[in-house]
Amino acid sequence: MTKKQFMATLVAFIAFLAGHAVQSQTGYSNQGNYYQATPPAPPNGVSPVPGPGYRPAGGAVYGQSTPEIITVQQTQAGATVVLGGTVVPYKEVTLSAQIPGRVEFIAGAEGDWFEKGKVLVAIDDDDLLAKRRQVLAELHNAESALRNAEVQYSRELWAPQSRSPSRAPGMGLPSLFDQMFTRPMGDMMGYGSPELERSADLYSRGTQVSQAQARVMQARSALEEIDAKMRDARSVAPFDGVIVKKLVEVGDTLQPGQPLLVFADTRYLQLEVEVPARLMPGIKKGMIFPARLDVGDTRVDVRVAQIFPMADVRRHTVTVKFDLPQGAPGGPGMYAEVMIPDVNIPTQTLPVIPVSAVVWRGSLPGVFIVNDEGKPELRLIRLGETVGSGLVSVLSGLEVGQRIYANPPPGMSSSWSSGRPPAPSAR
């Protein structure tokens, strides 16, 4: 035997003696397929306090709470219909071009917030500015013509042209001779009627004033038209909101009626649902219904805000809008469901259980009931609608009066035991 072999044999023998001594002190005994430690007796006869997870000989695990067992109650529930809908903003508008032109300014992109009155899109208005200057010149000429017509009317009123010697028939004599002889001789011979001529002259001057006023009004109307078109070249925010969708870019050529962008107020959301006409007798404005949002499977209560007055002639459905509570997750365009009662089907008695009692095996819901032997047994069920806060109705698989585990721990299975007798039922 070499020196290395001797040293290895000596170390193995010492380790064997040390293990035998430890087994004698702690009282390990080989029983069955596992080792069970027998703790030494405490001093002065005081029982030791078991720590978390300590398992005594009886098999129970201290520090583990016993699942609560409750009795299945009942509730009166009517038939409900689940209808899908879409989350929409409370206010939404589509801004369109009112004049032809080229886009020269866009305030922002999707998601940008703007206050009421801010310019969102601007269209090139150089041609409108040129037309406005032309209309201003026409307005100036019309106002000048109006002032001249008013002066001529005043002159005719205070110095009638019918009394002027130059308008009376005469022999070309000087003005004094015409005033003394021409007019009296004309009156004697039946030439003209001074009063009729005066009335005709006043009417002619008044007509000129009216025509001048009409030309001024026409020029001012043309100016207002140009100003309106210039305002249409600027699309402003009709209320506080965000750009939901941008449909044009800077430099695009537009025609009247072409959409520019979609603007909406997303602070307040609504759920828009197409409700079959047969369910409408059970829906009134202001009523509250349960709903489920697709975001995080969130359940909220929604209120009827608007009922459209006419049903769709093809689908025979009525559009109903529900107000979502503020702070609800999600946004416009997302999917949601609302539970509408069917008043055509009478109410029925259904078992109701806490949501925490439901366990899922794949896509199948189930509960653990307490069987005749006092042990848990998995029972597959068919769930109904949510009833109240934290409760759900059961359509089949469970009866009223049965005892179930209200909050089964993870890993529970049929014939599972907590090491303690079941707790008394809570009614």
Q: Which two tokens stand for residue 234?
A: 């600027």
Give first-to-last CA distance, the chain, whole Å.
Answer: 80
pLDDT exceeds cutoff 70 at 376:
yes
Task: Give me the pLDDT at residue 94, please.
Answer: 94
Task: Give me the pLDDT at residue 417, please.
Answer: 57
Mean pLDDT (whole number) for 105-121: 92
Report d(CA 380, CA 201) in Å as an integer: 107
Q: Alpha carbon of 372 to those of 73, 324, 392, 402: distances in Å? A: 19, 47, 25, 11
pLDDT exceeds cutoff 80 at 92:
yes
Task: Give me the pLDDT at residue 275, please.
Answer: 94
Mean pLDDT (whole number) for 309-324: 93
Reported in sequence order, the residue ranges of 231-347 that DSSP labels E, i.e. its strands, are 234-236, 241-246, 253-254, 259-276, 288-293, 298-307, 317-323, 335-341
Give 258-287 pLDDT, tens digit per residue: 999 999 999 899 999 999 999 999 899 999
Position 324 confidence tier, pLDDT thresholds 50, 70, 90:
very high
Name the residue ranges covered by the structural domains of the chain. 81-86+267-341, 127-232
Give 167-212 pLDDT, tens digit per residue: 544 444 455 555 555 666 666 666 656 677 778 778 888 888 899 9
Ranking 10-14, 43-47, 400-404 by mean pLDDT, the lowest is 43-47
Task: Give me the pLDDT at residue 390, please.
Answer: 81
Task: Give me the pLDDT at residue 295, please.
Answer: 85
Task: Give me the pLDDT at residue 361, please.
Answer: 87
**Of residues 235 and 78, more confidently modeled:** 235
Provide the mean pLDDT of the chain.
78
Task: Give me the pLDDT at residue 175, please.
Answer: 56
Q: Which CATH superfamily is domain 81-86+267-341 in?
A: Efflux pump adaptor protein, beta barrel domain (2.40.30.170)
Task: Give me the pLDDT at residue 307, please.
Answer: 95
